[in-house]
């Protein structure tokens, strides 16, 4: 019985790890799709800016008249770029990676030097682990379940030994009856 309990626990742990990794991969894929969409929006804005400038150039109008339109589109590009940057950071965090500040090469968090440009990397500080209330509650619940299982096992063992005691008592009673 203990073997199956251990096997069940191991299978449960493997499931949790797999589910966690699958969830991270799915989130990372969604982030990459968002980044791709945002990059295509930036390219469209670049095309619109270039088209406006060229149209003004070919119509012999002053290019200065389009400055306001160009400025608005540049602000949109800046806004989208900051969204992309935050999504990239989130993606790196999901994959436990970091980016070189010099050449923007993606690498493992524990790398001391960039494999691409050789730039010395800052080592991340070890995070301080603080248990939240939810994890404490889970621990308490798990402890209660284990205690209940232990109590059930003890009761099962007691129930198995009780019939033997009753049989012995009945045998003694029947011997006493025979003697009387």
- Residue-wise pLDDT for 134-153, tens only, equals 666 667 677 677 777 667 66
In a shared domain, residues 15 and 90: yes
Does the pLDDT at position 23 exceed 70? yes
Predicted local distance difference test score (pLDDT) of residue 114: 93
44 and 110 in a single domain? The answer is no
Domain count, the chain: 3
The domain of 149 spans 129-180
User: What is the CA angle 75-78-81, rounded to 5?
Assistant: 150
Residues 31 and 83 in one domain: yes
109: closest CA among 97, 121, 126?
97
User: Could you tell me if residue 145 is inside a domain?
Assistant: yes
pTM for the predicted model, two decimal places: 0.56
Mean pLDDT on 43-57 = 90
Q: For residue 45, what pLDDT is reported?
A: 95
Per-state percent for the chain, helix, strand, coil, to nearest 5: 75, 5, 20
What's the average model confidence in pLDDT over 123-140? 63
Lowest mean pLDDT across 46-55, 60-69, 110-119:
60-69
Residue 46 located in a structural domain = yes
Q: Is the pLDDT of residue 29 over 90?
A: yes
Report pLDDT digits (tens) over 59-108. Answer: 876 666 678 888 999 999 999 999 999 999 999 998 889 999 899 899 99
What mean pLDDT comes out for the span 108-137? 76
Closest CA to 53 of 72, 66, 71: 66
Rounded CA gap, 74 and 67, in Å? 10
């Amino acid at each position: 019985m203990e073997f199956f309990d251990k096997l069940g626990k191991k299978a449960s742990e493997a499931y949790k790890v797999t589910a966690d990794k699958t969830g991270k991969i799915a989130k990372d894929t969604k982030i990459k799709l968002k980044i791709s969409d945002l990059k295509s929006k930036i390219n469209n804005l670049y095309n619109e800016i270039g088209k406006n400038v060229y149209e003004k150039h070919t119509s012999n109008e002053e290019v200065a008249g389009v400055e306001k339109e160009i400025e608005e589109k540049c602000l949109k590009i800046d806004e989208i770029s900051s969204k992309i940057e935050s999504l990239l950071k989130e993606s790196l965090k999901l994959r436990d990676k970091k980016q070189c500040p010099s050449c923007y090469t993606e690498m493992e968090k524990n790398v001391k030097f960039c494999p691409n440009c050789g730039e010395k990397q800052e080592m991340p500080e070890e995070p301080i682990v603080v248990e939240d209330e939810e994890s404490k509650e889970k621990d308490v619940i798990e402890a209660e379940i284990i205690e209940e299982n232990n109590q059930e096992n003890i009761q099962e063992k007691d129930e198995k030994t009780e019939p033997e005691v009753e049989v012995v008592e009945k045998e003694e009673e029947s011997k006493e009856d025979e003697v009387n």
